[in-house]
Each structure stands twice: as C-alpha cells, then as structure tokens.
Structure 1
Amino acid sequence: MTIDKTFDPAAIEARWYAHWEAEGRFRPARPEADPYTILIPPPNVTGSLHIGHALDNTLQDILIRHARLQGKDALWVVGTDHAGIATQMVVERQMNDRGQKRTDLTRDQFVERVWAWKEESGGTITRQLRRLGASCDWANERFTMDPGFSRAVVKVFVDLHAKGLIYRDKRLVNWDPGLKTAISDLEVETREKQGSFWHLRYPLEDGSGHISVATTRPETMLADMAVAVHPEDERYLALIGRNVRLPITGRLIPIVADEHADPALGSGAVKITPGHDFNDFEVGRRAGFKAAEMLNMLDAEARIVQTADGLIPEAYLGLMVEDAREAVVTALDAAGVLEKVEPRVIQTPYGDRSGVVIEPWLTDQWYVDAKALAGPAIDAVRSGDIRVVPESWKKTWYQWLENIQPWCVSRQLWWGHRIPACFGPERPAVAAANPALGLQLSVNNDPARGSIAGNIGFVGASDEEIRSSASQYYGVAPDRIQILEQEEMHQVVKTIWPPDREPEITIFRDPDVLDTWFSSALWPFATLGWPGGGEESLPFKGGVGVGDAALDRRPASPTPQPPPLKGRGSMLSRHYPSDVLVSGFDILFFWDARMAMQGFEFMGAKPWKTLYLHGLVRAPDGSKMSKSKGNTVDPLGLIDRYGADALRFTLAAIESQGRDIKLDERRVEGYRNFATKLWNAARFAQSNGIGASQSLEPPAAAAPVNRWIVAETVRTVQALDLALADLRFDEAANTIYQFTWATFCDWYLELIKGEIGEETKAVAGWVLDQILVMLHPFMPFITEELWHALGDRPCDLILAKWPMADARAIDPAAQAEVNWLVRLVSAVRAARTELNVPPGAKLPLHVRDASAETRARLERQSAPLSRLARIEGISADPAPVGGALQLVLDEATYVLPLEGVVDLAAERSRLAKTIAATTRELAATTKKLDNPSFVERAKPEVVEENRERLVAFAAEIERLEAALARLG
C-alpha cells in the first residue's frame, strides 16, 4: 500500500474505528492474561460530548490502549446513566411541544415513552465517543436501568435498610419548585443577584423593648421559630430565654443562645427559620425543636401555605415567594418595625436545569447514613490502599468524609429506580379488641406534596417480600395484602376488618425514585454482574417499579449482561477492583467517594486501586468556559477541523496532574502538524525502501548513527513507561513527541540521507515501528493506518506488543558521539540564524583546542556535519584575520569566518539595539509586577501572562548577548 501524499484524518478515522469494533479488537480474548480494568464515568443518556468528556475519555483510552498493548486482559467498562431529572425533562419538553403534559399519561405510560425515547435517541454521546476513538467494551455496554443493574440497586437499598443505614427522616433539602423534586448540591448553581438586607425590629413579649435582626429573606419571618444570639454576647445575656412577638402573625418565639450568631455581624442577633434555611435548621435542632415541629410555609411550587399553627394571615396564602416578600416588607414598614434597607449582592441558588430559585425545604425523604459508611473509605486513602493522584486531593477527601451529612436519596420523579417500599396505615392498638374500627390511611398528611409520610413503611426486593413484611405487621395472610399506586389512593382510603372474615389490607407504593448518584455509586460492581442470578428471577424490569407489575414495562432486546470468561474466574472476581478511576475533581464527593463507600460495604474491598483527578478545561486566557461568554469549545468541531488524533494528543499534552488546563485551538492545529510530520516521515521511509520491521528486537547495527537511534528509542520507552506509571500524561506526550519530531524526523532521517543501506533500512523500520506502537495510545488512527501501510502485519496495531525497554541495547559511546554531532550542528545553525548568515552560504570551519577524540569525531562525521551545518571544509589551521562567528562546544572552539558574507558592523548594531529594547520591556514588566496594586486588582490570568513575559524577556536578552559575543 502506497502512502498517499495527503494526510486525510476523517477518512482514516471512520474506516479504522468501524474495523476495530466489528472485529472485536476492544476486548480480545485473554482469559489467562493479567486483568486491567477501567470504569467509564457513565455519561448521561441525554448527553452530548463536551470538552470535559473529551479530556476524561482521552486519558482513559490512553491507559486502556497501553494496557492492551502490554498484553493484559484490558476491560474498559462502558455505559450510560439514566439521568433521572435530565431525561424526564427531555421527554416532557417533547410532550409540551405537542401540547401534552406528563400528567396527561399514567405513570406507566410515561415511563414507556421514556424507554422509547432512549431506544431511539439515547445513543448520541456513545456515537460521539466513538468519534473520539474511545476503545470501550461496547459489546457489553451497560445502562443504569438495565435489568441486572436494577436488581443490584434494589438489593443495595433493601440491605442498607435492613441494617438501619437507610431510613426516612424529615430534614431540609434543596427543593426545585420548577421540577418539584429534591435535587443534589451538584445540581445547584450559585448566581449573583441584586438584593437587599432588611433590618427588622422584633418587640419583646412584655413590650419593654425590642431586638434587631437582619435578613435577606424577610418573607420567611412568617415561619420564624426563634431569634439566636451568641451565648457570650453581653448585650443579650439578660434576654436569653425570653420571648419576642413576631410582627404580622403575633406569634411568640424564644430568644436562644447559639454560637451561630456572630456578635460582629449586624446587630449580633439572627432570626431562625429552621424550615427554610440549612444553618437555621441546625440551630433549631440545637435549640430543641424536633423536625416535625418546624414550620413549613411553602408548598412544592414555592407558594405560601398555612403553617401548622394557622397564624399566617389569609392575604399571604398562595403568593409566590417574590410577591410574598414585597407584601411582607410593606406590612413591616406599615407596622413601623422596618429599620432600614441596604442594597446587597446576594449569592442565590438556582436549579441548573429548571433555572428557578432553589428553596431549602422541610420534607420527608429517604436518607443514607453516609457517616456510618465513610470510615473504610477514609482509612483506605490514609493507609495508601487507595492511591490518590494528585495527592493534594487527599486533604479534601478527608475533610468531606469526616464531616459528611446524611445523604438524601429520594427524588420526586417518575423516571428512575423506583424506591422498593410501600406504605400502609398504622395498626391501632385496639384493632385486635375491636377489628370493626378499621385502619385509616393518612392521605395528604404532608400538605406540601401530598406524600404518604407518617405511615408504616415496608421495604422489600419484590412484592412478595413486601407482602410478607406487611402480613407480619398486620397479622393477616400475605394474599390479603393489596398493593396499589399512590394515584389509586382515592379508590381505597379505609380498610374495614369485618368480624366474619380475615381483613384485606391496602398498602401503597412509595411514589419516589432514587437519586441517580445512588445507582451510579454501584457502577464498579453492578456493571460486572453483581449480585448474580438469572434475568428470569429479576423483581425489577428496567427499574421502573416494585414487583410483578413492572416485569413487562421495558422494551424488548435488553442490554446484555457481561459474559463470564473461561479460565480465571468470573468478570466480577477478575475485574473488581478496577485499576484506575479517571474522574473530574468536581464529582469527587458525588460519585467517587460514594463508590468507595458502597464498594467497601458490599464487596468488602476498594472499588479501584488508583483515583486520578483531572482539572477543568478552561479557555486560552484561563477563564472558565461558559455559553454566556461564548468561549466554549466543541470537541466535535475540533475533530472535524484537525482530526481526533490531534485533539487527543493536545488534551494529553496539556493535562498536568489535576491542574486546570488552558485549551488553545492553536495547540490542536500544532499537533495536527505533528501528525502530518509523522505521515511525511513514513512516506520518506517507504520511498527509500524502509518498511515494516521483521523483529521485535532491535536489529544488529555497526554504524554509530544506527546504534544511537536504537539507544534513543530504548531510553524513550523507559521514560514513557515511567511517565504512564506515574500518570504524568503531559510528560508522556512530550516524551514521544520530542522523540518522534526531533530525534527521529529532524535528526535521524536527516543524518541517514544518502546513506541508506540494508542495515539502516532495518534499523529505521524497527524504530518507526516502535514509534507507531508508543504513539498509538495517544494517536490511534494515524498509527494504525501507517502500521498497515508500511507492510504486511500479523495483527492490527491495536493488538501489537508494547516495546521492551532493554537497557542492553544502549551504546553509550555511539550515543555520546551522535549527541555531540547534534549539539554541534544545532549550535552552528542557531548562530548562523542569529547573525543573519544567508541560508545558502557555505562557510569553512576552523577548529582549535580540540582533543584527539573530538578530532576523530570530526573526521568520522565530516559528511553529515558538512551537509547539515552548511560547512565547506574543516581545518585545524588558524582562521583568517577579520570578523568571524565563534562558538565553544566542550573543550573546542569553532570559528567560521564571516568577512564578505555578513555586514558585521550592521549586525553588531542590530543586536545591541534589540538588546536595549528588550531590556526596557523587561524593566517595565518588572515594575508592573512589583506594584502590589496591579497584582491584587488585575485578573489572575493577566498577572500570570506578565510573569511569563518576564521570563521570556530575560531569556531573549541572554540569547542576544550570546550572539553578540560570538561575533568576536
């Protein structure tokens, strides 16, 4: 196959990826090999490839391709997350476009519609990952709501509940009034909003005075339960324990002592609304208020509702928060208790998907006792059982896990893993004595969202388990337990126990689903077949409901389970724990830590050996990318323009162990030029009879230049192995880049031109093969194309063997001689350029003070030296009198006469002027950086840019002064 003159990435990428996937190259059968496993952070099924995905998956693909080349049983577990909120929003939006609402359908109908959308449109991001070159195990792609995974989710919930580690509780959550569900901290984005600070006077109960408080949310005073002062604030010691009377409602609330109140802020007194502020909730608990006693003044849509004591005036009921704020402030002002209003920029939480203001909201939810699960995850990092790279993230890991709060895992959605629980009425103490009294189910006892909180809960992995549990509680046979959906609650709200027959009890399914992060925390073991068992016995089908009624809701052709491997154990035993988890630091708590907790709890071992945390991709100026700024980068657009290989190499080259990285499109263009350089080098080799190597071992070589390139290849393999082992992606990329571009293309191919004998062909072919193998994890497409273009191969490059770093192939003498030649040619070339010597001019070279070894090298290397440095004759005689270029290398001085070739006076003047101008720039930049005002007020990226300029100016002055000195 003749290598085309033009390098066309698009055609190469489409052809080779289809070939690899069709031929099963991403998961070769290697049951006897050492396993190597990576878990993809499952992207949302609704997602599209963004630059963060591109970075994350490029790093993973480098590691998995490297392991595959090393002969390991390399498994890259791949799949997508069902993304409860995002997916439900996508489908609801489509329905809205057709004039429909979710509530026009039953729950089952809506879930069926979501499954249909998933089958038709849910594969966008997986197709895009293929364009990037991700060599995942697509044949066993997983989905967090496929049958096997759903079984794992149910088992974990039921087991944790049985241990008391999952429970119902009334606490504050981040409530999204637009979506009408609790959301996680990750789904909350903080924006600056112009607001105010209202100062209010709360009169003491006896009318003897008042206490001043300040708030950014005056409307929540309708649900205030206390005023807090610091226990050591002498101004208020006498008031602690007394009551104040709330304006508008007239309700009495106590003054309590709590260190949350800061004497230095405002009046030192703060209003406490435990039902609508996270800090206040904790203050309220310390003050002795039970969660059930805390007042909730909002409904699910953030409208004012009556508090438990019924003291909110009717005029405020039904108002949205903003309207209620205006009405409350007007009333406070009219009552004469509004002291002053200060304008202030408020940090306001918004739902990242709904775009509405998030309300801290008191409601009943399911919680995981995360603190009880955190211990092993902390100990594993502290002991080194889990390696964290970079280590600076260990401190953050400890701080978060040691102070972890209960984890809210329920969501008020229809799409997701249905919580395997049912609720029924409490059994009256007199039921046995008088069965005819019946059992009353408490309907809508949570006015905020009509939940079934406060009733008896039954948890089980199937309807049978739930009926069994309920039958024991009610003292009836399991077949007398009827299970209904909550929306069917209106059908049966009372169960009568007639004396003439065994009673029938109706219980209702929990309408909530689990937080997406709950299921994704099981990814390291649920994707590998845990907990086992056949699909025919699954209590869930697609995870959409509890028990038998849900079995047939998922469309046909379910995602296949990973098949067990013959040889050395099951998928789970071979590939758990995985080797490396590559993750953005922004999901360290939401996913990484929770995987560690669940892994230790259910597998008794860490989920991965190494946790690698990369930084964020930023714009070229260091600013955060955002659509509003218009500085986002579309990775697919970059692939269209420069090819996937160029983008992948760029991302690896700028990834520096967790630090945020600046992505400049010019870097991508530069690495596209690198790919072109390699392409042309392969064309040169092919045109000179250099082809595929016939040996894994380096060919025998006598010529110093060939022994040198073999040694340099081995040293590159050594450096690359070390960099990849340390997860130094930038160092690894730079190592192979420098060797390919500079050592092989710029020097070796130039040094052998005109002298390509059989030995050189064999050596050059072997070195080019090693380059293709070493470069393959970074640039898989071009390397596979050239691998086959250079000759017949026993296998695809993706399955080739990684080079051996055999130190015996290093010849120190040959290395020293050729490196000397390279340094001498480089010095002469640089000096000629600095002094504007015409490129075509050939200059005689006079050498003095040379050692015997240097003289011998000059004789052996005279041909390449003359050709590459444009030298015409080498002499030990003194140079003619007159201006000359002089340079010193090791012990010898090299002189090239310039009389008649260069205007020496003009060159001296030019160099001196340039040095002076650069010195002025250096002084101005130094003065700017020495100014504290500039450093404090300027943007960080501007300060950094000036520091980089300072270094560049200093280096330029040093270079110019050296050039001036060489004129002699």
Structure 2
Amino acid sequence: MSAQNSAELAKTFEPAGLEAKWYAHWEQNGLFRPERPDAAPFTIVNPPPNVTGSLHIGHALDNTLQDVVIRYERLRGKDALWVVGTDHAGIATQMVVERQMEAKQDKRTNYTREQFIEKVWEWKHESGGTITGQLRRLGCSMDWSREQFTMDPHFTKAVVKVFVDLHQKGLIYRDKRLVNWDPKLKTAISDLEVETRETQGGFWHFKYPLADGVHRDDGLDYIEVATTRPETMLADMCVAVHPEDERYKSVIGKDILQPLTGRRFKVVADEHADPELGSGAVKITPGHDFNDFEVGKRAGIKAGDMLNMFDAEAKVVQTSDGLVPDEFIGMDRFDARKLVVERMKEAGFLIPHITKDKEGNEIAADFEPRTIQTPFGDRGGVVIEPWLTDQWYVDAEKLAVAPLEAVRSGAVEIVPKTWEKTFFNWMENIQPWCVSRQLWWGHRIPAWYAEDGEIYVAESVEEAQALAGNKSLTRDSDVLDTWFSSALWPFATLGWPDEPAAQPPFVSSEVETPASGISTTLDANGSGKSLLAKHYPNDLLVSGFDILFFWDARMMMMGQAMTGQNPWKRLYLHGLVRAADGAKMSKSKGNVVDPLLLIDKYGADALRFFMCAMESQGRDVKMDEKRVEGYRNFATKLWNAARFCQSNGITGSTSVAAPVATSAVNKWIIGEVVETLGALDQAMADLRFDAAANTVYHFVWDQFCDWYIELVKGNFDEETKAVAGWVLDQILVMLHPFMPFVTEELWHALGSRDGELIVAAWPAPEASVDAEAKREVEWLIALVSALRTAKNELGIAPGARLEAYLPEPSTQTRAIIEANPAAIERLARLTAIRFEAAPAGAAMQIGAGDANLIVPLEGVIDITAEKARLEKALAVSLKEAKALEGRLSNASFVEKAKPEAVEKARADHAMHAAEAERLAAALKRLG
C-alpha cells in the first residue's frame, strides 16, 4: 500500500472519477479492515439484501448510516468489522430462475430437484450479487474479503445445527395450523410477504336453518349470517354468537344446518362474535380463516379435525366428511363463490340487500357492495388463502422470554426508545413461527419420515438412519423460511458452530471452507483469537423498523438460544424513505427514486450526507432532490476552500494536536474545532445522525469557509498557514464518515501523507476553548453580519463604506475594536468607529455584543423615499399574511382542500409573515 502524492486540485469538483478511483484503492489495499491485532473490536452486520436485489432508496439510507458508524469507529482506532453478505432469498430467487426457464419454454418440473438447484447456482454465479457492486458505488466500506452467502457450506452447517438443537429441546415441532398460502407459488409465505390491497367486493347475508324444529325466542327458525367469502361455507363447522347476546341465548348449543352441504353443527358462544356487527352471528370456517381457527379451537375442534375444502391451487376439493356437492369439486375458489350464491338463492336462503333508488323505490340486490381489505402475495400477485396444512413451527413464545428480559433490563438498548412499547406488545403476544416453505431452493429441512409415521430429525441422513434403524426413510421436501437462516447472521457469519480455535501466536494461514474460501474460525486480523470470540456479540445493528419482528427480534431469539448471549448491544431503528409529499414509494404510484441516478447526478457523498442530515430518530425521511443538490454544493464549497488554501501555500498538517496559536482568530478557530468535535462525538454516541451531520456542516460552511477564511484573508503568516492546514485536516477527518470520497481526495491533494484518510487518527486537538478569543471573534462576526443585513434591508450597496459611533464602549469592546481596525474596515466596510456621540439626523442602530453602534444615513440614502418603499412593501406583506391566516383558520379549507394546497398556504403564510417582520425591523432602523 502506498499513499497518494499531493497534486494541484482541479478547478471543478467532479465526483464520478474520484469515487471509482478511491473505492478501488481502499478495497484493493485491505483498508476496510486494516490489521489491528490489539485494537478494541467494533462489529456490525449488514441486513443481508436478497441476492436477486438491486439498490433501492431504503438500502441507501440503511447502508449509509452503517457506513458512517463503521468509518467513525475505524478512525477512532477500533478493529472495525462490517460483516457483509447476501441472502439466498428462497422465493424470489426460485421465481427469477423459473421465469428465465419459462422464457425458453422450459419449466422446473422438467428437472430433478438437484438439477434445478444446479441451475440456481449457475444463475447466482452469473447474475446474482448485482447489489454488492451497487453498495460499493454508495461507498460502503464492508469487509468484502469475508463476504457471506446464506447458502455457503459453513452457513448451511449452522442452520442445520440450529434446527436439530431446537427440535431436541422441543422448541421446533410439526403442527397443523393455518398459514398464509400463495396458490400461485404453492407455498406458505410470511406476513411480510403479504400486502393488503383494497378490492371491491360484497357482503352476502344468508339464512342457516336451526335443526330439529328448534325456534329462537323471537320465533325465527334460522340464524342470519353474513360473509364476504360465501365459498367457504362449504367447510363451515359452527356458528358463533356472543354469550351475552339475548337474541341467541336460547339456541346456544343447539344444532344448525348448512343448507348446501346439509352438515349439522353447533351454535357456539364466543366473544369473537360482535352483537353490534351485522346480525351478531358469525359462520365459522376454522380451516380457512385465522380468526375462525381460534374460535374453532375454543369450541373444542382439534386442528386435525378441521375441514379443508381447497387444494394447493385454491381449487375446491372434497372435505373429509364427503358433504361438498360434486358440482363444486375442482372449481376455482372465485367461480365456486358465484355458484354458492346462485344455489343458496335458488333454495331461498339468500337474504337480499335492500336499497332505494332516487325516487325512493326499494331495490333488491344479492349483496351489499363493500371495499374489502384483501391480502395478496407480494410476489405471486394473487389473493392469499388461509390454508390448513402441516408445517414446521418454532415455539416463539418460549424463545421470546430472554429477548424481552434483555430489553427490559437494558442489556439491549433500542434506539429510539419509543419502539420499546411496540417490541414488548408484539413479543408478549407472539404466535408460533411457521418456518417451512414448499420450495426447492433453500436450506432443506433436516427431517426424515418413516412409513410408520415416525419423524427423525438429524444433521445428516446417516445420523437419521442410525436413529431409525433399518426403516426406509424419505427426506422432508420443504425448505426453511429465509428469515430462519438470516436470524443466525450475527454469529453464523463469524464461524459458529465451530469451536473458536484461538492459536497464539497468530497463524496466518486461514481455515477455509470449500465454497467461499473465507475464514470461519481464525481472525485474519492478526489477533490469534477466533472471530466469534472477538466480534460476538456485535456492537450495533442498524435496521429499518419494518423488519423489527421478522429479523431483529428473531436474531435476539436465536442469539440467546444458541449462544446464551444477545446478538448485539444496541438496536437502531430508522424510518422509511418517502416521496417528497410524504407518500410511501411504490412502482404503481410512479414515485420511486433510484439512488444510483442520484449518485450519477450529484455524487455518492451528496446522497449520503442528505440521508444522514434527514435521519431524525423516529421520523421517516422525505425525499428532496433539491437538498441532495444542496449537499453537492456543500462538497463544492469545501473543494473551493481547499483550492484557496492550496493556492496560498497551506498544506496538510503533520500534527494531530493543534499548533501553537497567538492571534485571536487562530485561537478562536482551534476552539471551534474543539467544540465541534465534542458535539459530533456526543451526537454519534447518541446515534443522532442528523445532529452529527449538521454539526459538521455548520462548522465547515459557516465557521471555516465563510468566517475564518474571510478573517485571515491577506494575512497568511506561518502561524496562520499552520493553523489553517491543521483545521482543514480536522475537517476532512470529521467529515470523512459522511463524505468519504471528496475528503480522501482533498486529504492527498494537500500534501504527501503517510497513509490514507480512511485509516487516519480521529481528531485529538489537545487544546481548549480560549474564551477571550472566542468573545473577540464572535463580536466581529456579529458586527459584520448585522451591518450586512441592515444594508440589504435598506437597499444600501454592500460595498458602501460607512462610519459608526459608539459613545460609551465597554473596556472589552473598545479593546476588540482597537485590535482589529483592518478587519473591521475590510469586512464591515466601516472606515471608522468613533467613541463619541453620533451627529443628529437619520441613522440606523447596529447591535454587536454589548455594543449598540449608530451609523448615520444622511447622504447615504433618501430617507423619505426609503420609508415610503418599506411602508408600502410592509402593507402588502401584512395583507397577504392576514388573508392566508384567514384561509388556514377555516376548518373547512384545511379538511377538504388537497394536502399540497394546505401545505403551500402554510408555506406562503410563513414567507409573508417573515417578510413583514423583516420590513418592520428595517423601518425601525430608520427611526
């Protein structure tokens, strides 16, 4: 590795070329994890993106925040490890490969399972991992030398061991329960893969007759039930009523008939039935509805006895009692719906929905139109069917105990803390976790079945056979949910379950796995300790709140269950990136933002800084391209400041500690570095990314570029050159986690270095704030700022030279003025500040510190004309502000107008109110 030599900076900042150059240099030289055998570890793992994925704006936020943290800790001297890898994404990957086969008039079932999996691996090697290149474009400094894949042999070994161990402890079991079934993909899917859409449907009302001539107290011989899914009545098993509903108390426990099937079942009492909703009676189909499943269990119906009326494609099949009429068998579920309604109507059991036309005449319809919240599979694109199947489940309730205690005790900190309540609520009411999927691609479940029904769970077929004796075994064809394997990510990526084979002194040859060649036990960083021993538990997890339960909570469960430790000490949950109007981004809305296009346009540094500056704990990020452009301008501002310094003989510093300073302005800027560093470190400790970014931004733009350079311009003595070079170095180091590319380029342009900025030392000024110097410089800044504002308000040319009067200055203020005549004349454009009473006549007053300077205006502007202009403009602004205030105070406007119209009215009101305040202040200046 060789450090880059200094070079004259180009006039224009162009990020594209330097981004490609520096990323390749960092990665090729192993700088994302330099050898630091004795350093304290700091470890994070990336949420592994799907191997089929492409970088979206959510990835850009999530990975930017992680990279800021890891670069910050690396600069602080830690052995910073950012574990990177991709998820095998069972459903998504199998779909991609099957679509490619379909395009060639081929299909999966033309091959054996093993042949198809070979094709998936071929696809993975040729096309998988697009996203890893895109993460590099974002600047993510991950340890690519240890890139993981959830189907790597060492990872598969871990997955199998976890399944077997949990099964032996009774924490994984096989059960018959309802799952989200995708009839197109023909597999169970997780809640996260279900998206709810509004569809236009209906609410049908039917009569179910009471059996054996029984009548209700009101004389009726039937119970009215209503449903949005009439087809499911073919598998009804009871009717539920509320136990306190007076209308039905007399028939609870009585038999009732399902008209189409003739099936007899009971009227049961259950609080699930809401007396205020519809008729207060609910038909119960426990095999095809999640709520009904629970009602059925409470009514004493065992899962194994619940009726199933659909096959894997959601076509009607005969139920176990043989009572479904033959004409329905083989029908699609939605065709069956139409026929059920038709047959119930023909038999006189349909209760029509009565409405009235414009003339008041009654109109009868078969159903009441309803907007239905309907579950769809996000990949299959068809309506999800609750389906009763045998699946493998994790006893999540027991595994949730340790994570709950970890968060309650503070052993794991959730940031922001407001998410704790949601975490507790979900974990305390957690349901069994279905972990089996009906796919070919994935970790095959290590279970074997004997003909006698016995199941043998083992890490290999040999072990299973040993358990089974000479029985013939067939392996389970299902694979594990990808959330199961990714729940092991914090420790399986570090070599678990292999024993931590620490062998000091460090053995340089790595322990390799056949497929990936990555080290899975010994730490390649020179410590001689195992990776697991050194880097587990991890320090931090950065995650979107939307996978708190699907991934984060499950990592806590698995970490505690398999290692006895929490997977990490802190969990940071960020929001979503939304469109500019606050709407959720979606392809259907056409408001998706491609982060790669933003990088092409403005550079990765600008996008990264935007993400950090907008990431305020507990809030979503609203996309704002103008602000991304603004941060590109910020990078340009720094570039130009560095060019200016370079042109004045200022080079990089050779000292970590601050140089000796004697002038007030140099003492002041060193003190500003000290204060900025303190605020930045505190913000990073609190994971306040917005505060951290804005702290650096304010210091760079305002304190250094605007004021320090202005104050020292034309006076570059050796002390000032040393201080300016040192401060610029501190800026580059502090800004590097947020804007790594431009800072690395500037670092080398300012001088020959011993190493790269990415591994430089974090600032340690060994200096303090000089209160006297701070007071002096801030007084000058206040004076110049106030004068510039006043000139702008009164239409006075910025370069106009004026004089000021200060009759009775304090001792401190007089000393400041007498020490800085050149700066006051150059920046404030004051030819003199006289310590005497001002002459009579129009004047403006300027405040600075404890001083109130009087600046005569006679002969400078036409006082009368200026007053008239200001008064006229003030009247216009007040009128506009008042009109907008009236509109905004009108509840009808706020409630009924389009949100963007209300937002514009608020923005316009704020603008006019601020303008009125400014004009009033200008008038006041004129007396």
TM-score (norm 2): 0.94
What is the CA-CA distance between 1:843 and the residue it aligns to?
A: 1.6
Q: Which residue of 2 aligns with 1:397?
A: 423
How many equivalent pairs are there? 889
Partner of 2:436: 410
Distance apart, 1:456 and its partner CA: 1.7
Structure 1 match to 2:343: 331
What amino acid maps onto 2:253 in structure 1?
G
Deviations along 1:537-579, whole A, 9 cap, x unmatched?
Answer: xxxxxxxxxxxxxxxxx99655553642543621101111111
Structure 1 residues 235-258: Cα deviation after superposition (integer angstroms, max 9, x where no partner)? 100010111111211111211000
Residue 959 of structure 1 pairs with residue 913 of structure 2:
no
For 1:43, the aligned partner's letter is P
Q: How does 1:271-350 map to 2 (within 5 A)?
A: 271-339=283-351, 340=353, 341-350=367-376
Whole-Å Cα distance in 2 between the matches of residues 952 and 727 of structure 1?
A: 33
Deviation at residue 164 of structure 1 after TM alignment: 0.6
Deviation at 1:178, TM superposition (A): 0.8
Structure 1 residues 934, 241: CA separation in 2 closer, same or farther (over 3 Å shift)?
farther
Matched letter for residue 258 of structure 2: L
Deviation, structure 1 residue 52: 0.3
Counterparts in 2 of 1:939 and 1:160: CA distance versus 1, 3 Å: farther
Structure 2 unpaired stretches of 5+: 1-6, 216-220, 354-366, 502-512
Instruction: Please list the CA deviations of residues 6-43 of structure 1 after superposition, one character each: whole Å capped at 9, or x if unmatched.
Output: 11100000000000000000011112111000110000
Tell me which amino acid in the other structure corresponds to 1:915. L
Task: Report the counterpart of residue 695 of structure 2 in structure 1.
Answer: 735
Deviation at 1:851, TM superposition (A): 1.5
CA distance in 2, matches of 1:533, 1:463: 23
Distance in 2 (CA, whole Å) between partners of 1:354 and 1:100 is: 19
Q: Secondary structure at the match of 2:780?
A: helix
Counterpart among 386, 401, 408 of residue 382 in structure 1: 408
Residues 1:133 and 2:139 are matched in the alignment: yes
> Secondary structure of 1:196's partner?
strand
**Aligned-pair distance for 1:941?**
6.6
Which residue does the alignment assign to 1:561? 520
Does residue 1:372 correspond to 2:370, yes or no? no
Question: Which residue of 172, 180, 185 corresponds with 2:178?
Answer: 172
The counterpart of 1:797, out of the listed 732, 736, 757, is 757
2:483 is the counterpart of 1:517: yes
Tell me how far apart the structure 2 counterparts of residues 53 and 230 of structure 1 sit (CA, whole Å): 48
Once the two structures are superposed, what CA deviation does each residue of 1:421-471 show, in whole Å capped at 9, x if it has no partner?
A: 011122xxxxxxxxxxxxxxxxxxxxxxxxxxxx22110001121011111
| Contact map agreement 1:411 1:513 (CA 8 A) in 2 | yes
- Aligned with 1:601 (options 561, 564, 568): 561
Query: Is the partner of 1:582 in helix, strand or coil?
Result: strand
- 1:631 is aligned to 591
Given that 1:200 and 1:213 are in contact with CA atoms closer than 8 Å, whether structure 2 keeps it comes out as yes
- 1:260-279 residue CA offsets vs partner (Å, 9 max, x unmatched): 00001011001101111000
Partner of 1:262: 274
Corresponding residue SS for 2:844: strand
- Identify if the C-alpha distance between structure 1 residues 506 and 598 changes in structure 2 by more than 3 Å, giving closer, same or farther: same
Letter paired with 2:21: R
Amino acid in the other structure paired with 1:466:
A
- The separation in 2 between residues aligned to 1:713 and 1:651, in whole angstroms, is 24
Q: 1:873 aligns with which of 809, 832, 850?
A: 832
Select 1:840's aligned residue among 793, 799, 804: 799
The alpha-carbon deviation at position 145 of structure 1 amounts to: 0.7
2:74 aligns with 68
What is the identity, as a one-letter code, of the residue corresponding to 2:596?
L
Name the amino acid aligned to 1:900.
Answer: G
State the alpha-carbon separation in 2 of the partners of residues 155 and 817 from structure 1.
68
Letter in 2 for 1:402: E
Q: What is the CA distance between 1:928 and its match in structure 2?
A: 3.9
Change (3 A) 1:563 1:951: farther
Q: 2:473 aligns with which of 492, 498, 507?
A: 507
Residue 45 of structure 1 aligns with which residue?
51
Q: 1:419 to 1:379 in 2, by over 3 A?
A: same
Q: Does 1:592 align with 2:552?
A: yes
Between the aligned partners of 1:632 and 1:27, the Cα distance in structure 2 is 34
Which residue is equivalent to 1:224?
236
Q: Which residue of 1 aligns with 2:866?
A: 907
What is the alpha-carbon distance in structure 1 between the residues aligned to residue 515 and residue 757 of structure 2? Answer: 37
CA distance in 2, matches of 1:577, 1:401: 21
CA distance in 1, matches of 2:908, 2:689: 26
Any idea what the Cα deviations from partners look like across 1:281-340, whole Å, max 9, x if unmatched? 000000000001111111111111111111111111111111111111111111111113
Aligned residue for 2:368, secondary structure, equals strand
CA 944–388 in structure 1, closer or farther in 2 if over 3 Å, else same? farther
Alignment of 1:445-844 (within 5 A): 455-471=453-469, 480=470, 505-532=471-498, 561=520, 563-565=522-524, 566-567=526-527, 569-804=529-764, 806=766, 808-844=767-803
Q: Deviations over 1:92-151 (max 9, x none)?
A: 010011110110111000000001111111120000000000000000001111011100
Partner secondary structure for residue 76 of structure 1: strand
1:754-807 CA-partner distances (Å, limit 9, x unpaired): 11100000000000000000000000000000000000111100000001264x
When residues 199 and 118 of structure 1 are mapped into structure 2, their CA distance, relative to the original with a 3 A threshold, is same
Shift of 1:949: 5.3
CA distance in 2, matches of 1:21, 1:751: 40
Once the 2 structures are TM-superposed, how far is the Cα of residue 953 of structure 1 from its aligned partner?
4.5
Residue 67 of structure 1 aligns with an amino acid whose one-letter code is: E
Q: Secondary structure at the match of 1:809?
A: coil
TM-score (normalised: structure 1): 0.90
Secondary structure of the corresponding residue to residue 678 of structure 2: helix
| Alignment equivalent of 2:854, drawn from 895, 899, 911 | 895
8 Å CA contact 1:278, 1:360 repeated in 2: yes
**Conserved? CA contact 2:614–2:690, under 8 Å:** yes
**Separation of aligned partners in 1, 2:540 and 2:905:** 38
- Shift of residue 883 of structure 1? 2.7
Q: Which residue of 2 aligns with 1:34?
A: 40
Matched residue type, 1:131: R
* Equivalent of 2:121 in 115, 118, 140: 115
Matches within 5 A, 1:164-243: 164-207=170-213, 208=215, 209-243=221-255
The alpha-carbon deviation at position 906 of structure 1 amounts to: 3.1
Give the gaps of 5 or more residues in structure 1: 427-454, 472-479, 481-504, 536-553
Alpha-carbon distance, 1:957 to partner? 3.1
Q: Deviations over 1:39-78 (max 9, x none)?
A: 1000000000000000000000000000000000000010
User: What amino acid sits opposite 1:254 in the alignment?
Assistant: K
Larger mean Cα displacement after TM superposition, 329-338 or 183-192: 329-338
Work out whether residues 885 and 898 of structure 1, in 8 Å CA contact, stay in contact via their aligned partners in 2.
yes
